[in-house]
Structure 1
Amino acid sequence: MSKDKQFRLPGYQQYSVPKGPNSHGSMILVRVTIPSSEVEPVHCGDGVEAKAVRIHLANDSLVVYNIYKPPPKRREAGELLTQATQELVLIAGDFNAHHPTINPTTTINQDGRHLVELLTDVPEITLINTGEPTHILGGTLNLTFISTELVPVAQWEVDDELTSDHFATTTTLRKIREDKWLEWSATLNAHTNLSKLWRKLRIAAGKLPRAPARPQPLQEANRLAEHFAERSSSAQLPPEIRLTYSKYNWREK
């Protein structure tokens, strides 16, 4: 995306590689409610575009990579994939790599052979594509790699409604999402005021329509007033206190 046409999405922190003479442009968007910071990406080859962001979790962090390798360029993925030996990673993008291991119907190119060799040599990283095509012509160009220890909680799928010539893909890491939800929920308690609670609910639900705290605020106010009058009535006092109060009140008169 060129600098004169900046993209902005409210509620998200944007990390991008602008479109230019030597770049196609790429972007990572992170909800502003999720702590994140930019990371200097490792070298992935001359002309290969890479953007990296660290997602800060309660007790750990996850480094997310967005990769684009133009077809004529050579990719150097060794340092990229071996990051999984040191920390949790999610690496996704258009790799333009071809190998039967990645897509059974395709031929082999050098980038595909190199990736498959790395997957054998680095057991800490796993390709989680299901084999489903990610391109409208049937190719599997968009690949997603994650730390092997995250595979049991990962779900990968193609979204055939979000598409250009490529289909969008979705990767869900259930345990991480659960941890962030529990961490977020822990900030709510009996002392959280109503406006803050509704604000957090709107954040959690995306665009939750604004609604009053009560569907019938006037009726609720009257009910609370009656309840207060009933609870504060002298009829609620013990008999001995009511007798003392009556005697004192009579003397005053």
Structure 2
Amino acid sequence: MMPGQTSSLRLPSFLHGTFRSVQQKARREGLRCGEQYHKDGTFPAPQQLLEVPPGEVVLAQEVVDFQRERPAWRLYMVSNLMGHLSNTPSGEGQNPFPMRSAYETLFRETAWGALFFATTYLHPMSAERMAQRLQAVLRFWEPLQCACYLYKRLGEAYTLEELMVAACGWALDAWCPEKEASVHVRLEKATERMARATREDSIAAILRQLPRALSSEPDLKHRQVLADPIFQRERLATLDPPSFERVSGACTAELLALLFDWDDKLGMH
């Protein structure tokens, strides 16, 4: 546990309640944060943090939130907050992404923020950004273990380890394929490798993940060509720095977008 941390998990009070109440509170919090950011470039701290009782369930994804009238911890609603950061009069017409990135940088240094940003699909998913997100989760591992999590399957509560495999298994497979180690150890190794990854390191991770991406998408028309490692390496070598940075983390969803782009270009010939 890091100095200054508590062993219990605490979440902002605006994330607890019925679906409707949390939706409204997250909107107000987003507007409050946006207003202060436009004034002085900072964000206010949440007005109140509440301790999550040990073993209590935290909803980490909206798809499992089917009892909306039941008060619950709705962590995924941080995305609602972020959607309202730029909805203030002073934020109209401005690019929202720098402010969202600044919000992430600050609140990734909290247990709740670390978990939200690691388990929610938010651009960028580069090796550098994902290393930062996963390192943050590791810093708050002990308090985050206090809760159970609903993520993809209705009614099936995950431990922290199970949640990280469900949400970030692609990163473990790409960057730490040594499956005999514990989830915590694999995350440590994966983040270390992602943080110092060269372009060639990322290419190796991408090549490990491309078969998984291919197998998950039946609609690709030129599967035999796309599955050729020589073709894959040649195409990766042609990506400009911004395009390569986008896929450098080897996130399955980003690789699927890349495969569809290659597939479309093959169809033009």
| Higher relative strand content | 1
| Higher relative helix content | 2
Could you say which structure has the greater relative contact order, defined with CA pairs below 8 angstroms and 6 or more residues apart? 2
TM-score (norm. length: structure 2): 0.24
TM-score (norm. length: structure 1): 0.25
Greater Rg by CA: 1
